Amino acid sequence: MSTKPQLPVRPSRAAGAPTALDGLLVIDFTRVVAGPACTQTLADFGARVIKIENPDGGDDTRAYEHAEIGGESAAYLSLNRNKTGIALDLSVPEGREIARDLIRKADVVVENFSSGVMKKFGLDYEAVAPLNPRLVYCSISAYGRTGPFASRPGFDPITQAESGFMSLNGFADGPAVRTGPPIVDMATGMSACNAILLALLARDRLGRGQHVEVALFDVAMGMTGFFGMAYLINGENPGRFGNSPSGSPTVGVYEASDGPLYMACANDRLYRRLVVEVMNRPDLINAPQFATRKTRSENKELLRAAIAEVFASDTLENWMAKMKLANIPVGYLRTVEEGFNAPEARERARLSRIPHPTAQWVPNIEPPISMSLTAAVDPVAAPLLGEHTADVMRETLGYDENRIAALAEKGAFGLRKASTST
């Protein structure tokens, strides 16, 4: 039976504490994963992020099927915390004019539409830069905004496949495997956030903004890491190694008598402690075929079998206690349920509950960044579709009620007036 963790109410940060990005205005045209992941980080640390969605359904992730609460999907809630949400129909001239008015006031614009969409709306960098020379404009795409592949649609698993990244995942005797979570999307979001912050630092020195681009394919290729670099050096195509890099017998999953563990015993010093202090098998360091890293690699199947036999002789908790005492890097091989209920998650206050207008409360996973002076803001759940439309028209753009009503009548906020906060 599944057991969800008991989620505490999140404590508030100190009143009046500064934030890293206080005063920064971000206009967010992104949807799905990479773009929203980028802008959520900016929002978490104090930027005001105004998320613009199509009134007809909004962000695609609102309809994702993983789970839902209060009418909102897990995917959407996980990527759009701390944002102000408005609904704009960019196919309507009045909707595009509202977007331009917002861009005039913005520090940052982020978009991840298909190639040519922002240009069609007159909202591409070349069109809006004259309105706001200090603007940092970030484009996220599969293959970049220029060159012969700019018009190709692409998603996380496609770029995993095409870059070579996917070929490194899985077991040697099986097919290439994509990562479960969309790791290239998430890493692209992080890279885009870095690019924006770099451009903002450059703006402080140079006095003007710039266009920055981040492509999923480029990020996926970079994430091949030292495997990619090794290929460039020796010309040998790297293979798949399952849970053990390069087939290492001392890194990977082993089975105790009652459950699995993951061990990363990656150097001679750790290996000696493992076989002598933990396993009580000094023969596994004294025997010539196991005496050096090179000979252990040459006899890795023999060594892996010997280690597996020892681990199978005792319980998981006994091995964990012995290995932690010897300072051997080791961990439980947990499911998501086990990981989210683990003491590390609890003691590090990774999970909480936060208020939500239709669900009463929703779960919250804390940002993975801690800052001593400018901590993350108190989390606010992802907005309902068009939740803050009227507020933004009034408070950010200074529109009066008559103008807002006229824009609604013209369809700028969709066929029906978008829901608004009071």
Q: How confident is the model at residue 246 (pLDDT cuts 50, 70, 90)?
A: confident
Question: Which residue's structure tokens are 């009580």?
Answer: 280
Q: What is the pLDDT of residue 2?
A: 65
Q: How confident is the model at residue 418 (pLDDT cuts 50, 70, 90)?
A: very low
Taking each helix axis from N to C end, the angle separating 93-105 and 401-410, rounded to the nearest 10 degrees, works out to 130
CB of 285 closer than 8 Å to CB of 272:
yes
The values of phi and psi at residue 40, to 5°, are -65, -40
Strand partners, 259: 256
Q: Average pLDDT of the chain?
A: 95
Q: How confident is the model at residue 422 (pLDDT cuts 50, 70, 90)?
A: very low
pTM (global) more than 0.85: yes
Please report, for residues 80, 132, 176, the alpha-carbon distance to residue 216 in angstroms, rounded to integers and kept in the order given.
20, 28, 19
Q: What's the whole-number mean pLDDT along residues 24-39?
A: 98
Residue 49's closest CA among 134, 131, 107?
107
Burial class (CB in 10 A: 0-12, 13-18, 19+), 391: middle
pLDDT at 397 over 90: yes
Q: How confident is the model at residue 1 (pLDDT cuts 50, 70, 90)?
A: low
Q: What is the pLDDT of residue 417?
A: 46
Q: What is the pLDDT of residue 29?
A: 98
- Taken in order of first residue, the domains within the chain and their CATH numbers are 25-225+349-410 (3.40.50.10540), 245-334 (3.30.1540.10)
pLDDT one-digit tens code per residue, 297-320: 899 999 999 999 999 999 999 999
Sign of CA dihedral 130, 136, 142, 144: positive
- CA atoms within a 13 Å half-sphere pointing along the CA-CB vector of 216: 25
pLDDT one-digit tens code per residue, 327-373: 999 999 999 999 999 999 999 999 999 999 999 999 999 999 999 99
Task: Give 126 or 241, the one with higher predicted confidence.
Answer: 126
User: From the candidates 60, 185, 204, 258, which is the catalytic residue?
Assistant: 185
Sign of CA dihedral 374, 380, 386, 389: negative
CB of 212 closer than 8 Å to CB of 226:
no
Q: Which of 118-127, 177-186, 240-249, 393-402 is predicted with the least confidence, judged by mean pLDDT?
A: 240-249
Q: What is the pLDDT of residue 280?
A: 96
Query: Does 314 participate in catalysis according to the annotation?
Result: no
